[in-house]
Chain A
Amino acid sequence: MSAQVLQVAEVEALSPLVTRFRFVHPEGEALPLFSGGAHVVVEMPDGAVLRRNAYSLISDPLDGSGYEIAVRRDEAGRGGSRFMHAEVAVGDLLRVGAPVNLFALDLRARRHVLIAGGIGITPFLAQIRQLIRLQLPFELHYAVRSRAEAAAARLLPDLAQVHLHISEEGSRMDLGEILSGQPLGTHVYVCGPEGLVDGVLDTARCLGWPKGALHSEAFLAPPPGEAFEVTLARSGRKIAVGPHQSLLEALEAAEVEVPWLCRGGACGQCETHVTSCSGHIEHHDHWLSDEARASQSAIMPCVSRFRGADLTIDR
């Protein structure tokens, strides 16, 4: 994957848990532009482990002077977000991949309805700048529990079609109301906790929205779990996967090449054939079909794990 070394130019706490980072080219060169909803993969040399985490770009897609991301500190996670919060300071150099978009706006839409929960606001911060620039009609709903948690509130433009819903203050988001009465040709985009994503998709389906008009960002951070071992069918090697390491990271550490794009179980690039399995694959992806999952014939190494006696994969 093509990555370039960028310099951290700003670090700013947006809320007790969320921090904004701005990256610029060390020699001030312009960075490639991107489309709203794109993410970059940031490489973090965390001790002996090289972590690569994907973060949505939140800055203006048409501004090549820098890339900005917002990282939520996840205490239970594998350490990527903790590394960003604890170790990264202004002036540091980090490798950042080229922007990739797996959650693009459908520009055929007559109107765009964006629904975010919590940190799920990040892809929309770039998308609304793109929508404003293209003069396309949209509305944004940003749901948070408390005002203190509304990390992105001050990054949002002051526009009538931008709505902040704070459940603690009694202004809960009403999906039925948002999704009914939208004109034909409207597309809806949702990003946030699984409950919100399911809620939006279910409500939209009940209201008769066509499937092609529904878009959700199904990104996950790779969950930690118990250590396990895999056997590589092509070489016979055995690879150990640590509790805070993903199978993909373990393969990379062992210099086994696996294609990837999202590192979050959504894009399908890392799909790996399982040649034998006695035990249980913990599938965490949004990619494999139910049949592939049940038959344990494939695994997505970026997010999924294993528990049992033997897992042999075609790598």
Chain B
Amino acid sequence: MTMRFNDETFRGDYTFRNSPEAVRRFPFPFDQDSYMYSVNIEPHRKTRAGSVFEHRFDVDEHYVAEMRDRAITLERDPLRCQSLPHMELAGWDFLELVMTSKAEDYPELFTLNRDGDRWHWINRPLGIEQRFTFLDATTLPCGPMEYITRQTQGDHALLDQRDGNLWMDAGMVTAQADWSLDFDIGMNFFEWHAPVPKANEMGVFQRALKFLLNLQQGAPVRRLNWTMTVNPRLDTSPETYPEWGPEKRTVTPETVGAKQHLRVELQTLWRLPRSNAIAFPIRCYLCALDDIVTVPKWGRRLHRVLRDLPDELAEYKGFAVNRGVIVDYLARFDDGAETSPGIFPD
């Protein structure tokens, strides 16, 4: 199978589009007609050929454009990529995980040749060919985490484990749903989760932390999270809020279907071997409402979920101002029919 990569933008003229195939494989996050905040973690194993869960690191038609967008963001704000010095080993672990996974899962796109510590990496979509010595950072143009995350869709955090806690000590964050690496770097699990509403009973987080501390090598897990974004914008960071915040006001009944996007994060968690750190890729998928409703089940269900969502959650997810317009638009695609269980199209 050869993959075609879109020539598109995630800012300015926003030429981002999903092909019909990309819409069908969009990770629609609701498996029933209502939504409750939950930790909903499951094993990250190969699921459904063609879905975003098929491979360990999904590569899709947006790959090249997303990497270009990341480079623009980094050019403007280099602090979106940070790694405290003790995290270099974790960076190598993660580089190895991504390179070996991609070379196995997409042999036509990526190749990795290894001769002991002498590695040779070919990334065809991005036109990169690199020979380097594993564990010797001087042989790469930048640190190992930065190197590989400039070639991997999604934001990435590397979490150090010590003192019975997890610490966000490295990351590449250019497509975040309104959080800031520069703010969170060096924080522990409880500190960086501080702003989640409603789940604020410590118990939920203590259980989640306990689960993560127990995360085992070779047994990665995943969960989906979601929010709403106006325009297909990856960089919705607090730092650039003045650029994208006002765009929320441009949503009208006429434009909502094209402008309003459901933004889904496929979050995975991996125990890394040499460093004992945890890699936390947060992969972002965007889909315009106009495209969502081409899958009748999703149109019906999204209408019911957003209509019945508690106000605080709409506020927290940042779309309270446009909720009325969105729900009115979606109501046209909800005939009241029953929906099938699960997230996949019928």
A residues with a Cβ closer than 8 A to B are 1-2, 32-35, 38, 61-62, 98-101, 104, 106-108, 130, 133-134, 212, 259, 261, 267-269
Contacts and interface: CB of A to CB of B under 8 A. Distances in A.
B210 A62 contact: no
Main DSSP-derived SS at the B contact region: loop
Main DSSP-derived SS at the A contact region: loop
Contact of B214 (A62, A107, A108, A269): A269
A32 B86 contact: no
B217 interface: yes
Contacts of B84: 108
Interface string B214-254: 10111100000000000000000000000000000000000
B219 A35 contact: no
A70 B15 CA distance: 61
B111 interface: no
A61 B89 CA distance: 13
A108 B162 CA distance: 11
Nearest to A109: B86
Contacts of B76: none
B198 interface: no
Given A98-B216, A107-B87, A108-B84, 10 more contacts: A32-B217, A34-B274, A35-B273, A35-B276, A98-B218, A99-B273, A104-B162, A106-B86, A107-B86, A269-B210
Given A35-B273, A35-B274, A212-B163, A107 B217 contact: no
Nearest to B96: A33
A101 B218 contact: no
A33 B273 contact: yes
A2 B219 contact: yes
A212 B163 CA distance: 8
A56 to B, nearest CB: 14
B217 A259 contact: no
A212 B160 CA distance: 14
B6 interface: no
A185 B104 CA distance: 41
A124 to B, nearest CB: 16
B275 A2 contact: no
Interface string B265-286: 0000000011110000000000
6 contacts: A98-B218, A104-B162, A106-B86, A107-B160, A107-B275, A267-B214
Most A Cβ at <10 Å: residue of B86, B213, B274: B274
5 closest A-B pairs (Cβ-Cβ)?
A107-B86, A33-B273, A35-B276, A108-B86, A101-B276
A65 to B, nearest CB: 13
Contact of A99 (B161, B213, B217, B219): B217
B87 to A, nearest CB: 8
Interface of B: 84-87, 89, 135, 160-164, 210, 213-214, 216-219, 273-276
A134 B161 contact: no
Nearest to A133: B135
A99 B217 CA distance: 7
Contacts of A32: 217-218, 273
B161 A104 contact: yes
B218 A107 contact: no
Most B Cβ at <10 Å: residue of A101, A107, A269: A107
Contacts of A108: 84-86
B216 A34 contact: no
Nearest to A100: B216
Contacts of B217: 32, 34, 98-99
Contact of A33 (B216, B219, B274): B274
Contacts of B89: 107, 134
Contacts of A2: 216, 218-219
B274 A261 contact: no
Contacts of A130: 274
Most B Cβ at <10 Å: residue of A32, A106, A108: A108
A141 B172 CA distance: 40
B218 A104 contact: no
Contacts of B164: 268
B66 to A, nearest CB: 30
B140 to A, nearest CB: 17
B214 A34 contact: no
A59 B275 CA distance: 16
Given A98-B216, A98-B219, A99-B217, A268 B210 contact: yes
Contacts of A33: 273-274
A269 B87 CA distance: 26
Contacts of B216: 1-2, 98, 100
A133 B117 CA distance: 13
Contacts of A133: 135
A104 B84 CA distance: 17
A130 B213 CA distance: 22
B323 to A, nearest CB: 40
Contacts of A134: 89
A22 B214 CA distance: 26
A134 B89 CA distance: 9
Contacts of B213: 267
A107 B162 CA distance: 10
A242 to B, nearest CB: 28
Contacts of B85: 108
B214 A259 contact: yes
A106 B213 CA distance: 16
A34 B93 CA distance: 11
Contacts of A35: 273-276
A35 B213 CA distance: 15
A107 B161 CA distance: 10
Given A98-B218, A100-B216, A107-B89, A38 B276 contact: yes
A1 B219 CA distance: 10
A106 B214 CA distance: 18
A267 to B, nearest CB: 8
